[in-house]
Amino acid sequence: MERSWLVRRWWAIAIALVMVYAFPHYPSIRSANELPRLYLVMAMADDQTFAIDEGVARWGATADVSPAGGHQYSNKAPGSSMLAVPAYVVLRGVTHVVADREPTLGEMMWTFRMWTGVVPTLLFLWLLWGFLARFTPDEDARRATLAIYGIGSMALTYSVLFISHQLSAVCIGAAWIVATRVVEDDRDPRWMVAAGALAGAAPLVDYQALFAAVPIATWVLIALVRRRRAESGAGAVVRPVAWAAAGAAVPIAILLYYHDACFGSPFTTGYAASETFAHFHQKGFLGMDRLRWEAFTGSTVAPDNGLLVFCPALLLALPGWALMARRGRYAPVAVTASIAVIYLLFISSLVFWRGGWQMGPRYITVMLPFLLPAIAVALASAARWPALRGAALGLGGVGVFVYTASIVEFPHFPEKFKNPLYEVTLRLLGDGLAAPNAGMLVGLPGTWSLVPFALVVLAVWGAAVVGARGPWRPRLVAAAVALAVTTAIIVAYGGFRGGGKVADQAYARTVAPAVKSQMR
């Protein structure tokens, strides 16, 4: 019985292993995105305050700390820190009972990353598995789509770091899934409480997630009005909307209360009080002032940060949308494509579009789940032509290589590196350096400790590429083409111009020492 359970679920277990294998935590870089969130967890649990003065005094300020009213505050949306409070309380109790001490910074960081990133993402992947069946019954296509998303995109990076982008994507993506089941499957309208709560929690976790709620809410209202006409009753509209509003009211109220308590107004965010990046955040509306071609290209096709460079399989959404429209699936196309357009316009209009250290344009991580139905449809349609399916999966393999290789090394690409895949990730591998990981715990040295990780990644992606159905010959053709395409693209990336002497100095002074310090 237990063996049968493991056999049926080995693929999901392997994805979980990919996410938990390494712990790329480098105290010397003083992560401006993670530390303020961690400080806020401790402040709420230990001192019942939102002021992070104690954390700043103990571990130092970062660029993302905002002063207000004589105190220091995180300039981030507080949702992920609030979610981490129960995990911190448990961790604090365990370390006190077992070792009679307070938890270390590293122990807290690992716990918060798992609780607010890895666990929600794994649950979301399970939810997506069933949801994608609405768009295609092809299990091989759905499995490959989840692999592209789960281990070959920004979803992986921001699951293993205590940064809220992926958690907000989970919230708003799950809200869409729940709302779809109510609207299309005629589920109990009281389920809209969950949809509303998830949608409201998304901006509580990460402000820009609010943009995705607009197309979803518009579609829900239109669909409910049409149902009202069919059922001749206003309750078909009023009840679901009322339940959704009730669910959203709680997290939104919490967010407004947090703003008022910290910054003196429900509508003043921490970015308004920020000093380090005030010249970025205080321009235009929430840092958006005008469209910039540089921001668009820099966020999509630039070698150092391009969404489509690091994860070219996202391009499959384009033919996927066309196929969905031909089949009459206009509503999901309208919702998902409009969300994609909104976030591309958003990132293109930001003054601070580069966003510091990141692996891809992290501000639009929330967009990615909405591309998955179209990607799954495109992969399912390509199954009739093994070479075409292999080429499509080869694009997915690029993302899997980039993101899995980087999270076990240094999952941050500083701006000084113009070809960070080669100048950071592959250079660290070549120098025998790696993040602390499970292999090291059993005595494997240096990059040899990554061999088990590589085997798990190959198993996950190999199973997605080869598939589980159909004759062997076309499946092997697809696998061979996928391998060739992935290899060719990764090799071609070596031709991107690097950062030169500036990048070399940054590697020698910051990146390599940070990794070495955690290998002792």
Return the closest-CA partner of residue 29 out of 56, 78, 63: 63
Burial 329-351 (b: 16+ CB within 10 A, else e): beebbbbbbbbbebbbebbbbbb
215 vs 172: CA distance, rounded Å: 11
| d(C-alpha 520, C-alpha 416), whole Å | 27
CA 216, CA 223: separation in Å to the nearest integer?
Answer: 11
Residue 496 pairs in a beta bridge with none
Query: How far, in Å, CA of 365 to CA of 359, rounded?
Result: 10
Q: Does residue 295 lie in a domain region?
A: no
Domain-located, residue 175: no
Tally of domains within the chain: 2
Give the pLDDT of residue 238: 84
Where does a domain end: 115, 132, 167? 115
Q: What pLDDT does residue 22 have? A: 97
Where are the alpha helices (H) located in 50-118, listed in sequence order? 53-59, 79-99, 105-113
* Separation of alpha carbons 80 and 60, rounded Å: 21
Least Cα distance to 151 among 411, 487, 475, 451 occurs for: 411
Q: Which residues of the chain carry a pLDDT beneath 50?
A: none
User: Among the three residues 96, 115, 134, which one is the final residue of a domain in this structure?
Assistant: 115
- Whole-prediction pTM: 0.95
What six digits make up the tokens of 339?
């969300």
Q: Which DSSP string do the residues of 447-467 spell out, in sequence order?
A: GGGGHHHHHHHHHHHHHHHH-
- Output the pLDDT for position 482: 97
The answer to whether position 411 is within a domain reads yes
Average pLDDT, the chain: 93
Location of structure tokens 């990353």: 113
pLDDT per residue over 1-38, tens digit each? Answer: 555 655 668 899 999 999 999 999 999 999 989 999 99
Q: Specify the pLDDT at position 321.
A: 98
- Residue 367: inside a domain, yes or no? yes
Of 64, 92, 115, which residue sits at a domain end? 115
Q: Tell me if 71 is assigned to some domain.
A: yes
pLDDT of amino acid 188: 85
Instruction: State how far the Cα of 195 lies from the Cα of 70, in Å rounded to an integer.
Output: 38
Residues spanned by the domain of 71: 29-115
Q: What is the pLDDT of residue 234?
A: 60
Say if 398 falls within a structural domain.
yes
| Within-domain flag for 171 | no
| Alpha-carbon gap, residue 134 to 1, rounded angstroms | 30
Residue 13 lies in a domain: no
What integer pLDDT is reported at residue 274 of this predicted model?
73
pLDDT of the residue at 186: 78
